[in-house]
Chain A
């Protein structure tokens, strides 16, 4: 009990002396605080921006639908020899009903093929618009909603009707303020009648998901050439079934494509989730380097604190002697100097947090990077700063406490 009381006294008195001493040396305090503050600010700004990137990337990926799979002869992220994939057999439209029959867990399925084309209406023209041929089930897979008109129907498919459903970017650009439904647009000088418009999905890795025109799959083939390899977009009932579906699909697709046992798969099952992993690998290294830079800055700040604390101990040698003579224990002196070091760092940490968050916010306002700082990062930053102060304060504090009171009292 007595020990607990005296620790309380040590901490209270330590805190009082710390504040007193920091106020007495304002300029020094501000400079030391800046050192640690800049470290924390750098760290937080970098982490904030990277966390922002991650969050927005994952949010965008989620718009693909967590319950979707895309089967293709190409992987989404090609590693190594492109020709290896190029030379794989194409999927054929005839395989689709068979695949459907073999894989009853698939709730929606659509072939998907695309190209980039110029699209125009009246005098307005847009280039590099993705023209995508899909069937009537695609809406349920891709995660779009219809904002006006209707989606592609089975009968559009059957009679290869020249109809189009516009992505939000195209609709807004070509038809500002008016409804596009019922009007005719030109895609590479072919006329298509607009039957509907899609909701906005946003960007994935800075690429708009809304700069597209959907047309019936067969219409695409008859207008822009058959024989283009297509991928098969499919959805399962919910995200928890994706793994199971993937496993079963491998066997089904091998049978469908007549892959010999012992041969590797000659197709890829692409998932938004797999893209996230590739992305994480790419940003992981960047993240490491950035955090490393921030930590080095903090280290420099910490050394600054240690330096100042050593000066402070030297300046106050006699004071330490007096306090020891009047009954201060070694621990009291240690706590006093640790409190001083930790409070400078904590103030620096707080300042750094504010500046760091501010920087991340400003960056997110003036650039496409979306900063997103999580609470854990902020708390981590302040805690880490205080920890740095404590760590770098230990040595000076120990030096102060171990001064011989007799020598300290005599110190000039």
Chain B
């Protein structure tokens, strides 16, 4: 079981007292209110919560798509909470592999070109890019569909292309947002198995979901409510609400 203190070093992810405040129509919305946790290399963690709990904001901050209003976020030894827009772009490219609920593939490009994309922004030569993208598609068993466009692929295949795209740049962590949300249960199960394999292969996975069933499959889960952590413990327990509050003051 992980402790929630911010003292941990050598962690892949360490967030300390993160807040995120939005101003909507003159009103202040506090989406995150002092969140602190750490994730070690090789962990598989689910972040769960109802809609409005702050889990999407948490994901955007973890994914360096957004920056916290206050607090510190260390990713792979770098303080990314105060980085410039361009620096964050590089961090996203190098450290993070995104997997989205709606796959977010470029519809007019082939599966192979979609997988190559992160490497394009890294400035890699075309030949090497292609080789790596093929290897990534091989990991998700889709080499035979690499020249197809997303609309010629099934939902499960699209998500596997997206996973290949996340894997291709060999990031520090894979960040998945409701990865099974748009899939039927059988296909969803297929994707979860793929995550299990990736976890066993040593990848760090952070999965944002509102589905307790999915969270229960993860070794560790963090539950957010009203922008605060209300539980942090083994996935099954947190998902079923058995795990007690981990953060002081709750």
For A315-333 the 0/1 string (1 means CB < 8 A from B) is 0001101111111111110
Q: Is the CB of A326 within 8 A of B93?
A: yes
Q: Which chain B residues in 106-120 approach chain A with CB under 8 Å?
A: 106, 108, 117-118, 120
Q: Cβ of B63 < 8 Å from any Cβ of A?
A: yes
Name the interface size band of chain A. 20 to 34
Kindly supply a per-residue 1/0 record for chain A positions 53-85, scoring 1 wherever the CB is within 8 Å of any chain B CB and 0 otherwise: 000000000000000000000000000000000
Hey, which chain B residues are within 8 Å of A326, CB to CB?
92-93, 98, 117-118, 121, 165
- Chain B residues contacting A148 (CB-CB under 8 Å) are none
Interface segment, one of B83-91, B224-232, B234-242: B83-91
Q: Is the CB of A406 within 8 A of B93?
A: no
- B: interface residue count bin: 20 to 34
Give CA–CA (A327, B169) in the complex, Å.
Answer: 11
B60 interface hit (Cβ, 8 Å): yes
B122 touches A327 (CB 8 A): yes
Smallest Cβ-Cβ distance to A24: which chain B residue? B108
Q: Does B200 contact A (CB under 8 A)?
A: no
Asked whether A325 and B106 contact (CB < 8 A) given A405-B65, A406-B66, the answer is no
Does A409 have its Cβ within 8 Å of any Cβ on chain B? yes
Counting CB contacts under 8 A, is A367 at the interface? Answer: no
Are the C-beta atoms of B104 and A9 separated by less than 8 Å? no
Minimum CB distance partner of A405 in chain B: B65
CB of A223 closer than 8 Å to a CB of B? no
Q: A21's closest neighbor in chain B, by CB?
A: B108
In the complex, A405→B93 CA distance in Å? 14
Tell me the complex Cα distance, A334–B118, Å: 18
Chain A residues contacting B165 (CB-CB under 8 Å) are 326
Task: Report B92 CB to chain A, min CB distance, Å.
Answer: 5
Task: Give the chain A neighbours of B92 by CB distance below 8 A.
Answer: 324-327
Q: Is A5 an interface residue (CB 8 A)?
A: yes
Bound Cα distance from A110 to B208, whole angstroms: 102
Asked if B118 and A329 sit within 8 Å, CB to CB, the answer is no
Report the minimum CB–CB distance from A335 to chain B (whole Å).
12
With the chains together, A9 CA to B118 CA distance in Å? 12
Q: Does B25 contact A (CB under 8 A)?
A: no
* Cβ–Cβ contact A318 & B104, under 8 A: yes
Residue of A at shortest CB range from B177? A409
Q: Which residue of A lies closest to B124 (CB)?
A: A9
**Are A327's CB and B98's CB within 8 A?**
no
Q: Which of A315-365 contact B (CB under 8 A)?
A: 318-319, 321-332
Say yes or no: is A224 at the interface (Cβ < 8 Å to chain B): no
A328 and B121 contacting across the interface, CB-CB below 8 Å: yes
Cβ-based interface call for B73 (8 A)? no
Residues of A13-27 whose CB lies within 8 A of B: 13, 20, 24
Q: Are B89 and A9 in contact (CB under 8 A)?
A: no
Interface centre among B63, B104, B105 (most CB of A within 10 A): B104
Contact call A330/B85, Cβ cutoff below 8 A: yes
Q: Taking each of A9, A332, A409, which has the highest tally of chain B beta carbons within 10 Å of its own beta carbon?
A: A409
A179, CB-defined interface residue at 8 Å: no
Distance between B75 CB and nearest chain A CB, rounded to angstroms? 14
| Contacts known (A329-B89, A406-B60); A13 close to B120, Cβ less than 8 A | yes
CB within 8 Å for A323 and B65 given contacts A329-B85, A329-B86, A406-B60 = no
In the complex, A6 has a CB within 8 A of chain B: yes
Interface string of A266-289 (1 = CB under 8 A from B): 000000000000000000000000
Partner of B100, one of A8, A324, A327, A409: A409
CB of B121 within 8 A of CB of A9, answer yes
Question: Cα distance A88–B93 when bound, in Å?
Answer: 89
Q: Does B26 contact A (CB under 8 A)?
A: no
11 A-B pairs in the complex with CB atoms less than 8 angstroms apart:
A6-B123, A13-B120, A13-B121, A321-B104, A323-B117, A325-B63, A326-B117, A326-B165, A327-B90, A329-B85, A406-B66
Task: List 10 additional contacts besides A327-B89, A327-B169; criterion CB under 8 Å.
Answer: A8-B123, A9-B120, A9-B121, A13-B120, A326-B98, A327-B92, A327-B121, A329-B121, A409-B65, A409-B100
Going nearest first, the 7 A-B pairs with the smallest beta carbon separation are A327-B93, A327-B121, A9-B123, A329-B89, A326-B118, A322-B104, A405-B65
- Chain A positions near chain B (C-beta within 8 angstroms): 5-6, 8-9, 13, 20, 24, 318-319, 321-332, 405-406, 409
